[in-house]
A and B are shown apart, each in its own frame.
Chain A
Amino acid sequence: MAELPDTREKLTPDTFLRGLWEENPVFVMLLGMCPVLAVTSTTMNALAMGLATTFVLVCSSMLVSLLRNWIPKQVRIASYIVIIATFVTIVDYGIQAISLELYAALGAFIQLIVANCVILGRAEAYASKQRLTTTFVNSLGMGAGFTLALLALGTVREILGNGTILGISLFPADFQPWIVMILPPGGFFVLGAWLLLFNWLRLRKERKQTEQIGVTAHAR
């Protein structure tokens, strides 16, 4: 414990933006996949689930960050879980009060936010070490990234599987929807396709970079 490096992060735009792209919880870190696949059969469900998760993520990260000096190291995981479960219970009752229809559509997956590893991961890897403000911004970014990923899946699946977006019909009346897309296999396929796209983009970028290095080296 002789030198304790200052691990506390300075607040920059990157604190927020990282969650959206570079460390996107779904597309890059592959965390919290269960709700991502299960509730994204329509855009509306995806949006609601994303917002609910973001709320729990932000609130529990902030509380963990506030209590970080008081939680004993040995029981930290249990403490985080209890904190998360508390906020999930709040969200659960909240959604039930706002819209029973939405509550029925999301089903058990609202309560299953407890077992979402994105949230526990944030608490353990970030909130337990950082100040309140950076934690707030960072977890908000992560939540936004998670919601974005859910929307990316939800819209594609709704358009293909139901021919609608947010309930508004896109195609003429005789359009035959591709029903498998709103069924379980569709979830796996669409997420797989998004990952393929991101892999392709990343590979292309890497290839361009190596080419550029090659060109500059040649010019010298």
Chain B
Amino acid sequence: MHAEPLSLIFLNAAIVNNFVLALFLGICPFLGVSGKKETAWNMGLATMFVMLVSSAAAYGINELLTELDLLFLRLICYIAVIASAVQLVEMFVKRFSPALFRSLGIFLPLITTNCAILGLALFQTAKEYDFLQSLVYALGAGAGFTLALMLMAGLREKLALAKVPDVSQGAAMSLMLAGLLSLAFMGFAGLGGSHG
């Protein structure tokens, strides 16, 4: 696992084991912010940035805690780092793009409870990636998340104009769509190597 090439790590995180459609991480923003393509794109970028920061920080923390033999504090430290990273992004976005800040609304602080980010930190620890591998993994996961969000937003923008039965409106329809997307992504299984 250690010698895993960077290109495969990226491919694996972004497409084969897509965080949203294959691993079920980050479903809440996936269903919540996928109404419009533009918001979806910005949300994807913000999430990718938080992923990169927290992935780098999580790597350092894990080394430190292993050194000190305090591994039971890992979870608490990770979530604290993620919360700080989200705070950072929030301040950054508010300063440089107030319009974007308003359009993301409540979902910006909610990145903290996006399990894709915590999941990323936990997975990279479990897979024992080194620093560079972790960063590439984070980049891939972020790209995959953005891809899933954009696909969903595109579908839902089209669907908003279509006439669907009353009974299937709202979340039920979104979930069925997500199921179809997930089914399509299963076609990538086996691409780029046999490791999970």
Contact = CB atoms under 8 A, between A and B. Distances in A.
Given A82-B76, A184-B21, A111 B182 contact: no
Q: How large is the interface on A (under 10, 10 to 19, 20 to 34, 35 or more residues)?
A: 35 or more
Closest CB pairs A-B (n = 8):
A188-B179, A192-B175, A195-B172, A38-B24, A115-B115, A33-B27, A185-B183, A185-B182
A137 interface: no
Contacts of B27: 33-34, 37
Interface stretch (A13-21, A44-52, A84-92, A144-152): A84-92
Contacts of B31: 30, 33
Contacts of B186: 183-185
B72 interface: yes
Interface of A: 30-31, 33-34, 37-38, 77-78, 81-82, 85-86, 88-89, 92-93, 108, 111-112, 114-117, 120, 180, 183-189, 191-192, 195-196, 199-200, 203
Contact of A78 (B24, B80, B122, B123): B80
Contacts of B170: 195, 199
B23 A38 contact: yes
A37 B166 CA distance: 24
Given A38-B24, A89-B76, A196 B115 contact: no
Nearest to A89: B75
A85 B168 CA distance: 37
B118 A115 contact: yes
Given A112-B119, A115-B119, 15 more contacts: A33-B27, A33-B28, A34-B28, A37-B27, A82-B79, A85-B76, A89-B75, A117-B28, A184-B182, A185-B182, A186-B179, A188-B176, A188-B178, A192-B173, A195-B171
Contacts of A30: 31, 171
Interface of B: 21-28, 31, 72, 75-76, 79-80, 83, 109-110, 112-115, 117-119, 122-123, 126, 166-173, 175-176, 178-180, 182-183, 186
Contacts of B22: 184
B23 to A, nearest CB: 7
The SS class assigned to the B binding surface is helix
A38 B117 CA distance: 16
B115 A34 contact: yes
A192 B176 contact: yes
Contact of A93 (B24, B26, B72, B79): B72
B122 A192 contact: no
Given A108-B122, A185-B179, A78 B83 contact: yes
The SS class assigned to the A binding surface is helix
B113 A117 contact: yes
Nearest to A119: B113
B147 to A, nearest CB: 16
B13 to A, nearest CB: 14
Contacts of A115: 79, 112-115, 117-119
A34 B31 CA distance: 11
Contacts of A114: 75, 79, 118
A41 to B, nearest CB: 11
B123 A81 contact: no
Contact of A203 (B112, B167, B182): B167
Contacts of B114: 115
A79 to B, nearest CB: 11
B148 to A, nearest CB: 12
Contacts of A189: 175-176, 179
Nearest to B23: A38
Contacts of A111: 75, 118, 122
A93 B72 CA distance: 9
A108 B167 contact: no
B72 A192 contact: no
A89 B115 contact: no
B172 A199 contact: yes
Contacts of A93: 72
